[in-house]
Chain A
Amino acid sequence: MKMAISAQGTELDSMIDPRFGRAKYFILFDLETNTHKSVENIQNLNATQGAGIQSASLIAKEEVEAVITGHCGPKAFVVLNKAKIKVFIKDGITVKEAISLFKKNKIVEIKEANVEGHW
Chain B
Amino acid sequence: MKIAIASGKGGTGKTTVATNLAYLLSMEYKEIVLVDLDVEEPNCHLFYFYWIQHKSGEHAHVLVPKINQSLCTSCGQCVQFCNYNALCIIGRAPEFSAMVFHELCHSCGGCTLICPNQAISEVKRPIGNIVSEDIVVADGAVVSAGAIKLFYGLLNVGEAKSPPLIALVKQHADQYNTRSLLEISDCPPGTSCAAMKSIENSDIVFLVTEPTAFGRNDLALAIDMVNCLSIPMKIIINKSDENDDLIEELAAQRGVEIIAKIPHDIEMSKIYSSGRILADNNTKMDSYLSPILSFIRKSERGDVR
**Contacts from A to B (Cβ < 8 Å):** 47-51, 53-54, 56-57, 60, 75, 78-79, 82-83
Contact = CB atoms under 8 A, between A and B. Distances in A.
Given A48-B83, A48-B84, 4 more contacts: A50-B101, A53-B88, A60-B91, A82-B97
B46 interface: no
B221 interface: no
Contacts of B62: none
B99 A49 contact: no
Contact of A50 (B86, B89, B97): B86
B256 interface: no
Interface in B91-105: 91, 97, 99, 101, 104
B84 A56 contact: no
Contact of B88 (A47, A48, A49, A57): A57
9 contacts: A47-B85, A50-B86, A51-B85, A53-B85, A53-B88, A53-B101, A56-B88, A82-B90, A83-B91
Interface string B54-80: 000000000000000000000000010
A83 B85 contact: no
Nearest to A78: B99
B107 to A, nearest CB: 14
B101 A57 contact: no
Contacts of B104: 49-50, 53
Contacts of A56: 88
Q: Which of B79, B90, B97 has the most CB of A within 10 A?
A: B90
Contact of B84 (A49, A60, A78, A83): A49
Contacts of B84: 48-50
